[in-house]
Amino acid sequence: MNPEIRVAVIGGAGFTGGEMLRLLLTHPGVGLLAAHSRSHAGEPVDAVHRDLLGETDMKFTGSYPIDVDLWMLCLGPGESRQLLESMEVPEPIRIIDLSQDFRLGEKAGSRKFTYGLPEFQREAIREASNIANPGCFATSIEVSLLPLAKAGLLREVHVSGITGSTGAGQKQQDTTQFNWRANNINAYKALAHQHVPEILRTLSILQPGFKGPLQFVPFRGSFTRGIFVTSYLGCGLNAEEAIKLYRDYYADHPFVHISDRMVDIKQVVNTNRILLYLEKTGDQLVIHGVEDNLIKGACGQAVQNMNLMFGFPETEGLRLKSVMF
C-alpha cells in the first residue's frame, strides 16, 4: 500500500479547481488536501463550490502551501508560468499544471515538463516530476488519432468538435450566459485553435515527419459539459482493419473504449473515459470521440497522471459513473 500523499490545489475556486477538489476529496491515496485561492482566501470552500456542503470543512488559503508533495495548478493562461517564475517552489514538490503554459516543452527555471497524456507516454509520466496536462480538445483529438500515427498512416486530417459552456472557464462571458447558449451554436477560432500546436507535436513524435495539416473547426454548444469530436482522413484500411488497429493500441489503456455503435456525450459526462466509434465512407476513415472536458479533458486526467507519478493504480479515484438521465 502506497503512503498517502499531500496535495494542494492552486487556483481552487474555478471550474477546474472545483472539479479537482471533488475528485481528490474521495481519493483514497490523498491524506491531506489544501485549497488555494487569492480571491476567496479565508472563505469556506463550500461557499464557492456549493455542492461540497457537508463534504469538507476546508477554507481557502491565500498562501501557497509548501509542506505538500504535489501542486495541482488550476490557473489561467500565463498564470502558471508567472507563478513559477516569481517564487522558488521547493524542489521536492511535484507539479501538474492544467494550463497551456508548458505543453510545447517549455521550462520553468530548472523544471522540465512532461506532456501528460497517458495513452501516449505512460512510462515517461511514471518517471516525471512535472507534468503539463493536455488541453481538453487536444486530448480527444489526439486519442482519436494516436493509433494511426503509431502505424505511420496519418495524412491531412480534418476535425470538427463541439464543447459545452464549461470549456470556456468560469469567468462570465457573453457566450457562456444561458440566454445566449440555450438553443444556440456557433463556430470559433476556426483553423486557429490554441490546441492545434500541441496536437501536431504529439502526433509527429509517433509519426516522425508528420506536419499536418490538421484542419480543426471548434463549435460552442448548448450544453454544460462534454466534448464531441469527429476526425476524418483518407486511409487505405478497411473498417475491420481500422477497428482492430485501435483495439490493439488501446487494449491496456483502461479509460479508452472502442464502441460498436455511434457514441454520444451523455455516455461519458462525469467519467474519465473516452469512447471512440469508427466508420469508413469511401476512402475516408471517420473517427468520432467523446469525453467530459472537465474530467478526462482536465482534472480526471491530472489525477490519472498523479496516480502514475506516485505509484497508485492508474484508475484509483476515477471509477466514476456517467450521468445518463
What residues are annotated to the active site? 136
CA distance 325 to 320: 15
CA distance 271 to 292: 7
* Measured CA distances, 230 to 289, 300, 307 (Å): 6, 22, 30
Burial class (CB in 10 A: 0-12, 13-18, 19+), 91: exposed
Neighbours of 113 (CB within 10 A): 23
Q: 185: closest CA among 168, 162, 154, 201?
A: 162
Neighbours of 87 (CB within 10 A): 9
E strand or H helix at 94: strand 94-97
Is the Cβ–Cβ distance between 230 and 215 less than 8 Å?
A: no
- Which residues are CB-neighbours of 217 under 8 A, at least 6 positions away? 159, 160, 161, 187, 190, 191
Amino acid code (one letter) for 129 = S
The C-alpha cell that represents 252 in the structure block: 491496456
Amino acid code (one letter) for 155 = R
| Residues forming beta bridges with residue 187, ordered by sequence position | 219
